Every structure is written in structure tokens, then in C-alpha cells.
Amino acid sequence: MPSLPDLSSDYELGVDECVAYQRDGHVLLRGAASRDEVSAYRSVITSAVAQHNSEDRPMAERDTYGKAFLQTMNLWLVDEGVKGYTLARRFARIAAELMGVDRVRLYHDQALYKEAGGGLTPWHQDQYYWPLGTTNTVTMWMPLVDVSVEMGVMTFASGSHVDGFVGDLPISDESEEKLRAHVLDKGFRLSEPVDMSAGDVTFHAGWTLHSAPGNDSDADREVMTIIYYADGAVTTEPANENQLNDLRTWFPGLKPGDVAATDINPVVYPR
């Protein structure tokens, strides 16, 4: 395999960006990776998605979740090329600085490819799925290609992370209906979707409400995500079947109350 770019160098965050993240629960950062870096990793990530994604149903036969994107998780464990991206110090350091912690661990990566003609991503909270006893969690969302608004850029409900858990609502038609109504009722300011270049990123907190429209273009929206959490967090008693599955899958061998640390949750940034 050709050598891939090293992603250990620092991306300098400004104070304003950290303040905005803490206030709003999300932030957009331009140029977290260069075009050359993204192009190199896009090749290996897309190849891994093609090899490991098992969704082969026609769009019309899928439910709302299935239409939203092709979701392929923990590619770093099955592909050495993707590993360099997922364990990158640069991205993990940004996560640590935004959360204001000294050390972060990897929860998992996931490629989210919204196909041309793919459906909306309903309003939801990522941390609904995570059996973690901390609010210091964050998802990095990076397009691997230039993404226009019509391809399905995310909208965030600014400040919604402060309230934490909203309801027992996995990604579904029900979450779209009830959480959209909740966002309107609470009067959260909505972020303005903007075009993003390959290598731009958003970071959003685990409890931040967010959604994305369908992909109305004729090209796939290729996105790679990485989820981080503060080192020292403990696992919690699963509050739903999704959290039970996550406990077994992403924290193998652990029980509720254990420190959330296994071989597949390495420390990816120590200050």
C-alpha cells in the first residue's frame, strides 16, 4: 500500500471556536485536513466501504434509517489505511480542546455515505445510542468530497446539548416528527447549512439535536465520522436496546460501571 499522509500535526483552534462549541454544542472548522490528505484517505475509506458495507436493497425497500445513508462502522479495525485516519492525533486533539479535557478515547468510526437520491436524516441525538456516563462526547463529521447544501449538509439546534436527553427516540419517522416539534417549541436557533469543502469538519456534542435533508444531487455525499469521549468515563446501565447493543459491541467484556476502556477504545490524544 502506498504511504498515506501523516495526520499528527496540529490544527490551531481559536478561543472563539472553543467558546462557540461550548455555547452551541457544535462548530464548523474549515480545512482540518488538506485536499491532498483527504484525497489519499478517501481512496482507502471508499474502498473499505465497498468491501464491508452489506446494504444491497433498492432504496424503495429500505426504511427511513436505511434511506438516510450507508453506514459502515469501525473500518479502522479491518483496514490498515483507514486506521491512520481514525487514530489521527490531529483530529483527536481538536476533540479534546473543544471539550476542554486532557485525554480522549475513540468510541468508533463510521462512514456515512448518503447516496444520490438518498432520504433525509431525521432529527436525533447521537448519545441516545451510547452507554456512557459523561457529557464530554463529540462526533467529528468530515466530507471526503466537496459537499453542497443540496447533498444533505447537517442542521444543528444550537444550545440543545445543554438539556441532555430529550426522549426515547431512535432515528426514525417518529424522531423526525417529535424532535422537530421539540426544536420549534424550545425556540433553538438553527444553524444555517453551508457548502463544505473536502477536509472541512463539523464537531457536535453527543446531546446536540441535529438532522440533514436528503441528497437531491446526482453524486454521493461521502462523509467519514469519528466519535470521541473523555478518558475516564464509565459505562452506564443500558437505557434502551441500542445502548445494550453498543455496550456489547464497542465495550466488549465490560459491565455497567466499569471504566470505558478496552483495546478497541484506545487513547488517541493525551495532552
| Residue position matching grid coordinates 488517541 | 268
Can you give the pTM of this predicted structure? 0.95
| Gap between the Cα atoms of 121 and 215, Å rounded | 10
Do residues 205 and 245 touch, judged by C-beta distance below 8 A?
A: no
Alpha helices in 87-167 (DSSP H): 89-99
Do residues 84 and 19 touch, judged by C-beta distance below 8 A?
A: no
Cα separation values, 41 from 4, 24, 49, 267, Å: 7, 30, 12, 21
pLDDT at residue 268 tops 60: yes
**Sign of dihedral through CA atoms 203, 206, 208, 213?**
positive
User: What confidence tens digit (pLDDT) does each residue in 214-256 have?
Assistant: 999 999 999 999 999 999 999 999 999 999 999 999 999 999 9
User: What confidence tens digit (pLDDT) does each residue in 12-21 have?
Assistant: 999 999 999 9
| Gap between the Cα atoms of 271 and 254, Å rounded | 26
Domains and CATH numbers, the chain: 15-270 (2.60.120.620)
User: What confidence tens digit (pLDDT) does each residue in 43-85 have?
Assistant: 999 999 999 988 788 888 888 878 877 899 999 999 999 999 9
**Sign of dihedral through CA atoms 197, 200, 206, 207?**
negative
* Residues contacting residue 13 through CB under 8 Å, at least 6 positions apart: 29, 94, 97, 98
Residues forming a β-bridge with 109: 226
pLDDT of residue 69: 77
